[in-house]
Amino acid sequence: MAVIHFLGTGAADYSPLLGTDFKDGFDKNARRSTAVLLDNKYLFDCGEHALDSIRIANVNKEEIKFIFISHLHGDHYNPDRIAKIAANQSEPVKLYVREDAELPYIPNVKIMRMKNFVRYAVDQDMAVTGLPANHDERVKPRHFLIEYKGKKMFYGLDGGWMLNGTYNYLRNSDLDLMILDATCGDYEGDFRMAEHNSIPMIRLMLPSLKTVGIVGDHTRIILSHIAPSLNKPHDETAKIAGKFGAEVAYDGFITEF
């Protein structure tokens, strides 16, 4: 059993209330930058608000030993926040990025460059494979297939639809959990859809993923990277997604898989 902790579930359109009313607390409608923590040790994305989320969630940042960066947009990657997580640790924190990502020197961080479609055994019972994502190519985007304690999880924040190579790689993978970008919410007609999903897009995509064994009836689908400016309030969004069996994450949401 693994514990997944959604520390941040927002897109880059941050609410000004994060600095005032919600400075020291989570709220389902005040979403911080995307970050997902697996068993307190593996952090997926570490952007602008990562340290605020870690503080509010009462997570010990020195337990974080591995950080995986999906791409270099500021809501997913912030070298200062990564440096602060690594600062007082006895061993360097391992930072996994796409092989061609340019990063500054970050003290006490070991940069691990990953090629797409190559499976890396990163720790005992933990392997990660980088897969191409449909997102701004300048920021070296990728999704992750995570194999952990016998379970399979897909992390797809950000990216619109699924690229052909990724789709074929994932055939018959029978995922246990799929975390998908739902930036544009239940909404039609936004420029961001060229590189993000809306909720109707996910609803249409899931049956196709089923036909090739990427997901099955048992697969949990959790939506995240929700842009508050393009979404209805959380509870309403959760109701819409629930009609086709998907859950909607919120900051502070903890679940097991």
- Where along the sequence are the contacts to Zn ion (CB under 5 A)? 73, 75, 158
- CB of 180 vs Zn ion, minimal distance in Å: 13
Residue 186 to residue 168: CA distance in whole angstroms? 27
- Degrees (nearest 5) of the Cα angle 213, 215, 217? 110
- CB of 214 vs Zn ion, minimal distance in Å: 23
- CB of 9 vs Zn ion, minimal distance in Å: 11
Nearer to Zn ion (CB atom), residue 96 or residue 148: 96
Nearer to Zn ion (CB atom), residue 95 or residue 126: 95
The DSSP bridge pattern shows strands 151-156 and 42-44 to be unpaired
Q: In 43-72, which positions are buried (b, 16+ CB within 10 angstroms) versus exposed (e)?
A: bbbbbbbbbbbbebbebebeebbbbbbbbb
- Calculate the CA dihedral of residues 44, 47, 50, 52 and round it to 10 degrees: -160
Residue of minimal CB distance from Zn ion?
73
Nearer to Zn ion (CB atom), residue 2 or residue 133: 133
Nearer to Zn ion (CB atom), residue 61 or residue 225: 225
Residue 146 to residue 43: CA distance in whole angstroms? 12
- CB of 39 vs Zn ion, minimal distance in Å: 23
